[in-house]
Structure 1
Amino acid sequence: MRSESGLFKGLNPTVTIASKVLVIGFVIFCAVLAERAGTIFQDISTTVLNNAKWFYLAVVSGVLAFLLYLMVSRFGHIRLGKDDERPEFSFISWVSMLFSGGMGIGLVFWSVAEPMWHYADNPFSDGMSDASAGMAMRLTFFHWGLHPWATFIIVALALAYFAYRKGLPLTLRSILYPFIGDRIYGPIGHTVDILTVAITAFGVSQSLGLGVIQMNSGLHNVFGVPNSIGIQLAMIAVITLFAIASVMSGVGRGIRRLSEWNMLLSVAIVAIVLAIGPTRYILNTLLQSTGDYADNLVGLSLWSDANADSGWQNWWTAFYWPWWMTWAPFVGMFIARISRGRTIRELIGGALLVPTLVTFVWMSVFGGSALFQEQQARQAHEQAVASGALVEDADFAGGAVLQATKEDTTLALFTLFDTLDPGLLGSVLSIMAVLLLATYFITSADSGTLVLCTLDSMGSPEPPQPIRVIWGLVIGCIAGALLYAGGLKTIQTASIIAGLPIAIFILMMTLSLHRTLRREPIAAAMLPAQVRPAAKDLDHHSGRAKASPTAATRREAAVAQA
């Protein structure tokens, strides 16, 4: 429960203290014993991936199927709030915040690098060929398409439903109410929120630490700024201050405005690359890869490499799915926070389909441009061999973008810009990308800080200002400490292990949500009379706070009228 006075006014003292002790203790362990901790976590994560890969694949694919069912079912029109409530944010602002709080950083980081890795090697085609170029985009679309957003949305939907529809706190403990009732306010609920806080803090801190490394690479590429730990720590300090200022101004001002700025800058970069890059190839790639993705969605979703068991999937799909699930509590809670007043159909359709389509455009523009450059380099090599300029068995190591990706993943995007235009425009694009990374990092940090504060304050949409400052500073300090001590890889590996209990929790969440939705009077009123639940079941309320008499009267009237 929230304290009403003293130092912890407006906060849950148990979650606030225990979560910080856990986070700081774990960070010290990873920083001081980075090598030993890394070895331990690597061994555990390898064991988990080898034995639970099928479970990860089944859970994520099952959640996606469940969401698509909800979107088109009789439950789709249920509003996440009161029956007459309307969304707090416009559709454009809402989608902008989805990207900024979701995977905006990852899209910038991997938009060139991942297609390059799949182009060089994948289990379905020969490397560096026409077939591998198409396969590279299919796999990239798969890893960044519907499945990751499904893991975010199931958390967001369950949280928004139980908080705004049933009057429970906007924390993950509320999802357990149909199973354990008021015990969510005791040790079980505290444990769930404490672990959520820890996972969120690690994820945001690691993202911030890895992000400044790519920003440093961009500044080095354009201005010759040294790649050094000092520069990176200074970047973390600046980003942390901006993030604190943004989170103190609230969702409606700071986070919303920065998110809209992110979208505008993203559109500008995409437009420039589309104009100066291989436009025809990009558009053909977008159309073909989207159809290829749709055609192979079910097969890829359930493919487990059972026969070859090559290990490739452990590096990619089976690595991505638990990784996305460790982000699900943070991103899901933020999506729930900005989605009050929308219907279930609007939330699933808007947050699942729209971001996926935009992601496909983004990946096609940057990944497609990089693949075109590599295809051109390969053809030039083959022509040189055919003409005798090179010996016949001369190995082709790839073009400039692929070689830069193999050398350092953070260089992939900036090398593409230099390849497209070695002059001023390439430098301008690199500067714009660094700015975009910075603003994405700020919005990720402030949205993550807001989620942490919300958890500390038992789901309050407007947590106290002091705790916002404290968590903002803690996030920055964790990122800096791990970057300095070399513990970022350890945190990443540990997060994969955390994906297993989160996957189990997501299963419970799905069952809890479906069980409660079936008791919704408005949804029940759409059933034929002979299969409609009894009145006593319709009156059953899964939340702690009772529905208002007005809302209850309207629902009963809907049932009677049907």
Structure 2
Amino acid sequence: MNISSFGFFKGMNKNMSVFTMLIILIAVFLTGYFPVKSSEIFVTIRQVLNPFLEWYYVLIVAFLLFFMIWLGMGRYKNVRLGGDLEQPEFTFFSWVSMLFAAGTGVGILFWSVAQPIIQFQNNPFTGTQMTPEAAITGMSLSYFHWGLNGWAIFSFIAITMAYFSFRHNYPLTIRSALYPILGRYTDGIIGDFVDVLAVIGTIFGIATTLGLGVEQMNSGLKEVLNINTSTTLQLIVMAVIMLIATISVLSGVNKGVKLLSVGNFWLSIIALGFLLIFGPTQYLIGLTVESTGDYIQNILRMTFHTNVTHNTDWQAVWTVFFWGWWIAWSPFVGMFIARISRGRTFGEFVAGVLLTPTLITIIWIGLFGGTALYEELFMNKDIVSAVNADVSGALFIMLENLNLGILGNITSFLMIVLIATYLITSANAGTLVITTILAAGSTAPPSLHRALWGIILTLLTGVLIVAGGLETLQAAVITAALPFSIIIIIMIAGLLKSLSLEETPVRSGNESLSAREPWILEKDVGEKGTIIDELNPNVKKLKEPEYK
């Protein structure tokens, strides 16, 4: 790859960096100067794509879910992300803390109260709305959009990148997964194009996440400190968050990112404990257990739902948005998870990345969303109207309805802090991932460019907020996800081809090394050390006709 050795772009792929910056800065300029028109364009594109995406995204996500289960339980479950004797870099607790914080921390804080309440009012799976039975369905639909299906997307990108990078010594970039399919052509313009698509999807995914989080912080400041909500305040909060995030990311994964992730994970546990003690404990436990059973029973039905028999926009508003958001977000979260997952087997990885975050998500939504539903059903609190009026304020309205006085105010303030720490974690992980891709997989990209991309992310998020808030953010991320979904399909083929060439599934502790990279050209051996597995001296070399 064309990595500059001097000047402003030293250590970076200059062509990719310049091209990506131009695209994002043009988007910033057009959206900033023509906010109304930009919003209309994004929304129109979304409306045109919805009928296609209602089944296209469904098929992709359904396949990835079953594919990941197969990888974790099938013949390749003992293949290790690294050398056969390599051990995990991080402890299980630190690993889970980081992958959850960077993955869905901000989003789940935003939607954990609002989504169950909205689904409680209207969904295609319940005949009678706003009843105790509808509450169970609303909860299980929330688990569905934040559970196994979404994490299947993240885990696929992560395991693919980790496999090619740590087991085969390829660069930690999206293009590496295409080597078995495209061969040496991935080192040229095709590979650059693939990585640029990944970066653009990542940028819009992070911008959506940051935008939602900033809106929620704005609502929290209004509830706790009586500060009126405004676009100006949101932009100020955005700038402060990104400044802290940029400083944090410069300290590296093992310091800033790890400490922040573990810290907000503990804050999350405290928040869950608070609701379990001061909320309607018996109802919360019962509702979480029953709605989890409903989720398990109906996961296939929800997974393959395409809205073909319903004349509503529910599928487009919810499932299409969430699957598009997860897909756009997946290069960012996938690379970050890959970066912290070295040394784990396929089986360990799939169990950790699919099951652990899903379990945490169920508990979180069960307690937060369940408390809001209890207030609506049994405390005569009209939280439905409040959520419909201001989705971003749902969390703080729910806490206020508990009538805990000063303790409730303290809790609301701690939730603002928690949102801020999750935003910082997502932002610094995002800038690290963007610059890692643009630096050809380097785990230590130049500090100058990490800071620069922090500024660019701030600008993009700010103009999207100004252009129309939540609706524009959702439309933008769905649009950005579509091109990358095609790359995912090619990545599936590349991973399958590579795995088929593993001579035997490698067991933990087995000192023998399997055959790797038989698609490498003989003339490439010794010339591109980044794509040669030096641990295995028996790499098969193919002649050029077999390479294509």
TM-score by length of 1: 0.89
Counterparts of 1:542 and 1:550 in 2: how far apart (Å)?
Answer: 13
Residue 155 of structure 1, CA deviation = 0.6
Q: Which residue of 2 aligns with 1:548?
A: 534
Q: Is the 8 A contact 2:31 2:463 kept in 1?
A: no
**Per-residue CA distance 1:512-541 (angstroms, 9 max, x = gap):** 111111111232899xxxxxxxx9x87725
Q: Which residue of 2 aligns with 1:129?
A: 131
Q: 1:551 to 1:65 in 2, by over 3 A?
A: farther
The structure 1 residue matched to 2:420, chosen from 438, 444, 447, is: 438
| Structure 2: 5+ residue stretches without partners | 509-513, 522-527, 540-548
The structure 1 residue matched to 2:450, chosen from 453, 462, 468, is: 468
Matching residue's letter, 1:289: S
Q: Which residue of 1 aligns with 2:525?
A: none
Q: 1:329 to 1:542 in 2, by over 3 A?
A: farther
Matching residue's letter, 1:407: A
Q: Which residue of 1 aligns with 2:68?
A: 67
Query: Residues 23-422 of structure 1: matches in 2 within 5 Å?
Result: 23-123=24-124, 124-377=126-379, 399-422=381-404
The structure 2 residue matched to 1:427, chosen from 409, 419, 424, is: 409
Counterparts of 1:539 and 1:95 in 2: how far apart (Å)?
Answer: 31
Residue 167 of structure 1, CA deviation = 1.5
Say how many residue pairs are matched: 524
Counterparts of 1:203 and 1:441 in 2: how far apart (Å)?
Answer: 13
Q: Which residue of 2 aligns with 1:454?
A: 436
**Segment of structure 1 superposing worse, 333-342 or 487-496:** 487-496
Q: Is the 8 A contact 1:215 1:437 kept in 2?
A: yes
Q: 1:377 to 1:122 in 2, by over 3 A?
A: farther
Residue 499 of structure 1, CA deviation = 2.5
The structure 1 residue matched to 2:491, chosen from 506, 509, 516, is: 509
Counterparts of 1:131 and 1:185 in 2: how far apart (Å)?
Answer: 55
**Per-residue CA distance 1:226-259 (angstroms, 9 max, x = gap):** 2223322221222111101110000000000000
Matching residue's letter, 1:15: M
Counterparts of 1:18 and 1:264 in 2: how far apart (Å)?
Answer: 40
Q: 1:88 to 1:539 in 2, by over 3 A?
A: closer
**Per-residue CA distance 1:305-357 (angstroms, 9 max, x = gap):** 32224222111112221221111111111111111111111111101100000
Residue 58 of structure 1, CA deviation = 1.1
Matching residue's letter, 2:137: M
Counterparts of 2:366 and 2:244 in 1: how far apart (Å)?
Answer: 32
**Per-residue CA distance 1:11-43 (angstroms, 9 max, x = gap):** 110111111011110121122222222222322
Counterparts of 1:435 and 1:540 in 2: how far apart (Å)?
Answer: 51
Query: Which secondary structure state, in structure 2, belongs to the residue aligned with residue 225 of structure 1?
Result: coil
Q: 1:259 to 1:549 in 2, by over 3 A?
A: closer
Task: Give 4+ residue runs of structure 1 displaced > 6 Å after superposition.
Answer: none
**Per-residue CA distance 1:128-169 (angstroms, 9 max, x = gap):** 112211111111111111001011111111111111111211
Q: Which residue of 1 aligns with 2:543?
A: none
Q: Is the 8 A contact 2:36 2:467 kept in 1?
A: no
Q: Is the 8 A contact 2:201 2:484 kept in 1?
A: no
Residue 552 of structure 1, CA deviation = 4.8
Query: Which secondary structure state, in structure 1, belongs to the residue aligned with residue 504 of structure 2?
Result: helix
Query: Which secondary structure state, in structure 2, belongs to the residue aligned with residue 431 of structure 1?
Result: helix
Q: 1:238 to 1:498 in 2, by over 3 A?
A: closer
Counterparts of 1:485 and 1:524 in 2: how far apart (Å)?
Answer: 52
Q: Which residue of 2 aligns with 1:385?
A: none
Q: Is the 8 A contact 2:81 2:343 kept in 1?
A: yes
| Structure 1: 5+ residue stretches without partners | 379-398, 527-534, 554-562
Matching residue's letter, 2:57: Y
Matching residue's letter, 2:178: L
Residue 209 of structure 1, CA deviation = 2.7
